[in-house]
């Protein structure tokens, strides 16, 4: 599985932690920036990663900002993106099982690094159920047309 990761300045430290942690686990995360704690705009970061996902340059995206909220909103403006803010193990499991999220989101200033790793591992270990959930996912792209 190819996974891209990106953050704004508020998520930079957590992004760097995840890059290092998963490198030791032999999981390659493609870093799409930002590359420092210098202030930057999360909508632009989300746009870059979402285009990467939508163009099938990766299988999954990880976005991080200070709280995870702003970058979630920005990501979910893209038709075809299902960004889920993961904040506990059950949500992480259901985001994959029911929603087939293709972008997961974390808060660099609001979540503990160890918890984020646990939620991400839970998400990656889960599988999409399909069935009634696929019908609902298909409806998402029709909403607002």
Active-site amino acid positions: 65, 98
Which residue bears the tokens 């889960």? 126
DSSP calls for 5-43 = EEE-GGGHHHHHHHHHHHHHTT--EEE-S--SSS---HH
Tally: H helices and E strands in the chain: 6, 5
Handedness of CA 33, 39, 40, 41 (dihedral sign): positive
Helix or strand run (H / E) with residue 63: strand 60-65
């Amino acid at each position: 599985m190819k996974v891209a990761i990106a953050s704004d300045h508020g998520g930079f430290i957590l992004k760097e932690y995840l890059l290092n942690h998963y490198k030791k686990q032999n999981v390659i995360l493609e870093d799409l920036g930002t590359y420092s704690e210098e202030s930057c705009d999360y909508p632009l970061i989300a746009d870059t990663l979402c285009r990467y996902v939508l163009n099938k340059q990766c299988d999954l995206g990880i976005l991080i900002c200070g709280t995870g909220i702003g970058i979630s909103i920005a990501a979910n403006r893209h038709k075809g993106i299902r960004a889920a803010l993961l904040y506990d193990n059950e949500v992480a499991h259901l985001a994959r099982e029911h929603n087939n999220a293709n972008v997961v989101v974390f808060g660099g200033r609001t979540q503990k690094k160890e918890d984020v790793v646990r939620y991400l591992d839970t998400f990656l270990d889960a599988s999409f159920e399909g069935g009634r959930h696929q019908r609902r996912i298909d409806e998402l792209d029709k909403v607002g047309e």
